[in-house]
Amino acid sequence: MELPFQITEILERLERSGYGAYVVGGCVRDALMGLEPHDYDITTSALPNETERVFSDCRVIETGIKHGTVTVLYKGVGVEITTFRIDGDYADGRHPDKVTFSRRVEDDLSRRDFTMNGIAYSPKIGFVDPFGGEEDIRSGVIRCIGSPERRFSEDALRILRAVRFSSTLGFAVERGTAEAMTAHRSDLHKISAERIFSELKRALCGGEIQRVLSEHPKIFAEILPPLAEQIGYDQGSRYHDSTLYEHTARAVGAVPDEPALRLAMLFHDMGKPRCRTVGEDGECHYYGHAGISAEIADGLLVMLKCDNALRRRVCKIVKYHDLPVDTSRRSVKRRLARYGAELFRDLMLAQIADGTAQSELGRTRVDAARQCLALADKIAAEQPCMTLKELAVSGCDLRGIMPPSPLMGKVLAELLDEVLEERLPNNKEALLQRAAQIAVEQKNN
């Protein structure tokens, strides 16, 4: 491994002082995969107070001293250094009740979650891999260290970490590990909403999320209960050739990997089971499902402590995701004016993903939504007037024609409407002339 000079020097300092020292966990995994590590964690045989003495010339923060972790600020970089340890019982299903410090790196590696994260490295010793993590990385396998039942009963967050790694790294979960994940899914309720949402967002933005959703439906339904209704749900429509849950998985995978879009497609059909009707021809319909889905999404995102800006954006996409697609310039301009460029783009991308996830018959709107996106880009390049603020006249300009009154607002709205319809140029002289005509018409009426 090629290490930043600060990390190399920290390891050398500890070793010169007589302690074993290694980088460990995700940075080693990423390096073995040919990825650039984002941060480096160090594990050492030095006890916390011994680490502090080694770095007495640096600022040392007792980040998690109870569990053996201190943060050393070394040459502009903050590095967590943790003593080799053995974890005790996890009574709360999240944190060890106590830890026992060790002088053996193998003890520390044995307490970690997955074999791919149970590898240590030091320039002096090389790789320490007692559980076959390097082979599992080469094979693309997520496997628990030791008993999967024990690993997940200790810390249920590991279930979502496995899901996230499978989605983002493209690794398959080993059978015994997958079975234990499902068996212990109810323990996810011991995890804070913030941690669940953080892992969910990261998993959703992975390149393999469609596969992962399909492989672990009960786990996703555990943290988002309305998904349980979708599993095995026959949509009863010629526009769909899959269950509702599988359609959702496809739609999530078909939209760009942005949190708002992926979340929106995960929630977009949650209201369907609540508003199912059957026509005379036996075809099932779901009138009003978008609005109900938006309400469900809002409640779930509040529960998950989602920030307000993201929550509002997701709920708007869900609420309007099934609007009829009209490729006319007039319609696209009106919707750009109503929703704004960002939301209009989101809605068209949602339409494309939704259509892609349907049967061949249901995919007809995909091309239309793509045409709308292209037309929206063309319109945006022209920088047209889309709002009252961009109109070439204001209320002040109309005072020579009419006194301030509710009529003035109606005139301005009509002027904007005619500009949007391209029946009138956004030109001050033309707008004032038309305003005078409207004022006369309104007065005569």
Q: Where are the alpha helices (DSSP H) in 69-174?
A: 105-110, 133-139, 148-154, 157-169
Distance between CA atoms of residues 352 and 177, nearest Å: 35
- Taking residues 244-263, what's their average pLDDT? 98
pLDDT at 121: 98
**β-pair type (120-122, 59-64):** unpaired
Distance of CA 31 to the CA centre of its chain: 25
DSSP for 218-281, written as a single string = HHHHHHSGGGGGGTT-B---TT-SSBHHHHHHHHHHHS-S-HHHHHHHHHTTTTGGGS-EE-TT
Residue at token pair 């993903």: 353
In the block, residue with structure tokens 């944190």: 95
Phi-psi region of 93 (alpha: psi -120 to 50; beta: other; left: phi over 0): left
**CA 1/CA 31 separation, integer angstroms:** 7
H/E segment holding residue 30:
helix 26-32
Helix (H, G, I), strand (E, B) or coil at 327: coil
CB–CB of 424/437 below 8 Å?
no
Which candidate, 356, 178, 162, places its Cα nearest to that of 253? Answer: 356
User: Dihedrals φ, ψ of 177, to 5°?
Assistant: -65, -45
Q: Which two tokens stand for residue 151?
A: 């690993």
Residue 229 structure tokens: 């209704």
d(CA 405, CA 374): 40
When computed from its CA atoms, the radius of gyration of the chain, rounded to whole angstroms, is 29
Q: Which long-range contacts (CB under 8 A, 24 or more apart) does 398-407 make?
A: 398/432, 398/435, 401/432, 401/435, 401/436, 401/439, 402/435, 402/439, 407/439, 407/442
pLDDT of 157? 96
Per-residue pLDDT at 12 exceeds 80: yes
Instruction: Check pLDDT > 70 for residue 94.
Output: no
Band of residue 123 on the pLDDT scale cut at 50, 70, 90: very high
What's the average model confidence in pLDDT over 306-317?
Answer: 98
Its pTM surpasses 0.95: no
CB of 13 within 8 A of CB of 79? no
Quickly list DSSP for 395-416: HHHHTTTS-SSHHHHHHHHHHH
Encode pLDDT of 162-221 as tens digits: 999 999 999 999 999 999 999 999 999 999 999 999 999 999 999 999 999 999 999 999
Buried b / exposed e across 136-156, counting CB within 10 Å, b at 16+?
A: bbeeebbbbbeebeebbbbbb
Cα separation, 316 vs 319, in Å, equals 5
| Per-residue model confidence (pLDDT) at position 93 | 60
Computed over every residue of the chain, the mean pLDDT equals 94
pLDDT of residue 90: 74
pLDDT at position 445: 67
- 19 SS3 class: coil
Backbone angles phi, psi at 33, to 5 degrees: -90, 0
Task: Quote the strand ranges of 17-160, DSSP E.
Answer: 21-24, 41-44, 59-64, 69-74, 77-83, 85-87, 99-101, 120-122, 126-128, 141-142
Q: Which of 11-15, 376-380, 434-438 has the highest mean pLDDT?
A: 11-15
Mean pLDDT of 29-56: 95
Both structure tokens of 183: 């068996």
- Burial readout 343-374 (b: 16 or more C-beta within 10 A, e: otherwise): bbbbbbbbbbbbbbbbeeebeebbebbbebbe
Residue 284's H or E segment, with its range, is strand 284-285
Percent of the chain whose predicted confidence (pLDDT) is above 70: 98
| Per-residue pLDDT at 363 exceeds 90 | no
